[in-house]
Chain A
Amino acid sequence: MFFRRAGIRHTDYAADRGLFPIPADRWAIGALLLLGLLAPLVFSSLTISSYLTPWLVWVSAALGLNLILGWAGQFHFGYAAVMGIGAYTTVHAYKAGVPWEIAVVLGGLMATVIGVGFAFAALRVKGLYLALSTLALQFVMDWVISHVPAISGGVSATLQAPAMALLGQTIESDSGLYYVALGWALLVTLFMLNLRRTALGRALVAVREKDYAAAVIGVQAFRYKLVAFATSSFIGGVSGAMLIFCFYHAVTPEQFAVNVSIELLAMVIVGGLASTIGSWFGAAFILLLPGQIHTLIAWGAKLLGVDIGIETLSHLPYAVYGALIIIFLLVEPMGLGKLYGNVRTYLMVWPFGYARK
């Protein structure tokens, strides 16, 4: 309908290979960006700080995991640990007086170094065994973080994060933190969108599809697996730091425990493997839906006069969240990104549906 391809004639390769060749997409992106920029004016400060900012940070983390899981096809059940490494390194470096920008990069680099350690498992085994070894590494990381007081910050295992200072400006307001998170999410999104147009992205896809076939055509599976783990760990580390500075304001080991890794996996799966827009949807779905369901059920119970215990109410969102993963895998294994794609392809030729064939 709006996504009409008719009348778009590219006269050079650059235009043809543009990120958004269809004008309607460009308009939509422009409008969304504008909405993103104006969000602090449109939404209340509570919505910004408790929904939009965490959503943006989780989107960047999910994109990082999607790079390794969706693009390179390697399992990573310990992504939260990688984020935790980034977060702890950044907070410690920043507290030691390193400027914030450099501290964040340091956090990312530290996550990269240790994340590549995870990759050594990937160089030996794949599939189930890779999944299990990264899961085990997650447990080891959890243990190290919570049992070394120098990392976790003493007895109570909480480390306050000081307010961040970007380019010398201290940022404390909700909208300021929102813009930082938005900036990082956009940066990662842009990187992921461009990834599929680069040699690196194509090499990763080749490794994912069949690693020895990739080796036959001259793609070193070893090297690209390492690169994939390193890149996604960097994104994860910085996202972990963002999570702390923009949202939690204090680090505890539980924030990066194994269930967080699984939540991230759920975001990627529900969103769709190797789908950038899917990660945006998936993060929103997994992050925001349980809370909404909680309110919905509480409201429904009140309406019907049924008394649901607090305990029941607190576990129901998890049941829904598990059910969502199951339903998505059964009904649409490629996730929300694919659903969006279906709607888009349908609208692209609407009302001339036969033209698609």
Chain B
Amino acid sequence: MYLLELGINGAMSGLMYSLVAMGIVLIYKSSSVPNLAQGALTMVGAYVVLAFANGAGLPMWAAIPLAMLTMMGMGMGIERVALRRLAGRPIVMILMMTLGLDIFLRAVTLVIGGGTARPLDIGISNDPLFLGPLLLNRAYAVGAVVALGLFTVFVFFFRTRRGVVLRAIADDYMASWSVGISVERGVALSWALSSLVATTAGVLWGSIQGVDQSLSLLLLKGITVAVLGGMDSLGGAILAGIALGVIEAVAAGILDPMLGGGTRELVVALVLILTIMIRPHGLFGRHHIERL
């Protein structure tokens, strides 16, 4: 029973990792850029919401959409200034660029917003949810519902005209180019969507653990989920998020008392290594992985 409870809570928190992973997948799909700054974007998103809510004194329902808009602009700006010029460069440059962005965004946010953790209250009560005999974390449940909701929205979005354009770019950007699709605009759109998802993740995680630098550490979990699900599959990100959440929670529940804590990061890193060693294209990825 204890394990079941851990598992369900884990699955829900895993769905919240999927939010970070979905941001990575969106960008990777359209432009093959593995965005290591996604954790920093999540953190910036939470800070921007706080800035609108506390700084400008807006109510939450206004602050969050405004922050999302700001972040979408910022994501497009990052793509335009930093990454478009690196298109076609070796991957080491692109990875290093996203790492540099990660460091830069984190530091600038801390310079402006300050490093002390502060609460972000979006009106979720702390009382647990009771599901039969199981105690569920209410914040995680909200997060899971939001993640699934966003995923559904994306499923429908990819059936609209603009979504089809994005899918075409993800499929073959050369071919899209030659039939007159503006690949640059598509990539910018994917950055905007990714920043939107990042803001959502930032708000949800911020409401759980407070807003501070540690939000950017979600990157490791997000990227593990993205790799496990296949770097270019949104559905994979959702399923892999659930899987990672369950594995992490159950393993930590069993191992923590034995090894003295801190096994969560270890489990995540091991899942990442094993995925890459055994099935580098992940559960649902279809990208051809170059290997020797």
- Which chain A residues have a beta carbon within 8 Å of chain B's beta carbons? 69, 73, 75, 121, 123-129, 131-133, 135-137, 139-140, 143, 146-147, 211, 221-222, 262, 265-266, 269, 273, 309, 311-312, 315-319, 321-326, 329-330, 333
Contact = CB atoms under 8 A, between A and B. Distances in A.
Contacts of A262: 99, 103
B95 interface: yes
Interface of B: 34, 82, 85-86, 89, 91-93, 95-97, 99-108, 110-111, 114-115, 220, 223-224, 227, 231, 259-260, 262-263, 265-266, 268-270, 272-273, 276-277, 280, 289-292
24 contacts: A69-B92, A75-B92, A124-B276, A124-B280, A125-B280, A125-B290, A133-B272, A136-B269, A136-B273, A137-B269, A139-B220, A140-B266, A140-B269, A140-B270, A311-B114, A312-B114, A315-B111, A317-B107, A325-B100, A325-B104, A329-B86, A329-B96, A330-B82, A333-B93
List 9 tightest A-B contacts by C-beta distance, closest first. A322-B104, A325-B100, A322-B103, A318-B107, A319-B107, A139-B269, A136-B272, A136-B269, A315-B110
A143 B259 CA distance: 11
A323 B106 CA distance: 11
Contacts of A143: 262-263, 265-266, 269
- Main SS class of interface, B: helix
A155 to B, nearest CB: 11
Nearest to A320: B107
A126 B291 contact: yes
Contacts of A125: 276, 280, 289-291
Contact of A322 (B100, B260, B280): B100
A74 to B, nearest CB: 10
Given A121-B273, A139-B269, A132 B99 contact: no
Contacts of A322: 100-108
Given A132-B227, A140-B269, A329-B86, A126 B92 contact: no
A265 to B, nearest CB: 7
Contacts of B95: 75, 128, 131
B91 A127 contact: yes
A126 B260 CA distance: 35
Contacts of A211: 292
A36 B15 CA distance: 57
B290 A126 contact: yes
B104 A319 contact: yes
B231 to A, nearest CB: 8
A34 B106 CA distance: 42
A274 B104 CA distance: 25
B128 to A, nearest CB: 30
